[in-house]
Amino acid sequence: MSDTAQATIKETITDNDVVLFMKGTSSMPQCGFSSRIAGVLNFLNISWLDINVLDDENIRQGIKDFSDWPTIPQMYVKGEFVGGCDIITDMMLSGELDTLFETNDIKFDKAAADKVREANS
């Protein structure tokens, strides 16, 4: 991975509370997994930054090397790697995601989170 990509990734996850490295954008995801996490974040009314890895091959490979995680999307909260689609989905349904956001003072719509769990129970 290029040092430039490494520095860009580090700066991005440090300067933004919630970052999703994804295929596509928040308004136009380019894969189902990216779409699912973007949908969760949008439904919970979270302020987050989307990074389209399809725009930059160095970032696309760089984020995999940075996290030592082979797949995209990847979500970071307060500079920490949280996981990909399956992990975020599981955390959403178990309530762990609420706890993660609360612990890190990330504002989110708790009622919306409860609705997601109700609909999936």
| DSSP output for the chain | --HHHHHHHHHHHHH-SEEEEESB-SSSBSSHHHHHHHHHHHHTT---EEEEGGG-HHHHHHHHHHHT--SS-EEEETTEEEE-HHHHHHHHHHTHHHHHHHHTT----HHHHHHHHHHT-
- The pTM of this model reads 0.95
What local confidence, expressed as pLDDT, does residue 1 receive? 55
Number of CB atoms found within 10 A of residue 74's CB: 28
pLDDT of 86 > 60? The answer is: yes
User: How do beta strands 18-22 and 74-77 pair?
Assistant: antiparallel
Domain that holds residue 85: 3-119
> Phi/psi at 83 (nearest 5 deg)?
155, -170
pLDDT of 2 > 90? The answer is: no
What local confidence, expressed as pLDDT, does residue 14 receive? 97
* Domain tally, the chain: 1
Q: Dump pLDDT digits (tens) for 12-67.
A: 999 999 999 999 999 999 999 999 999 999 999 999 999 999 999 999 999 999 99
What local confidence, expressed as pLDDT, does residue 3 receive? 85
CATH of the domain at 12: 3.40.30.10
- Residue 32 CA to residue 72 CA, distance in Å, equals 11
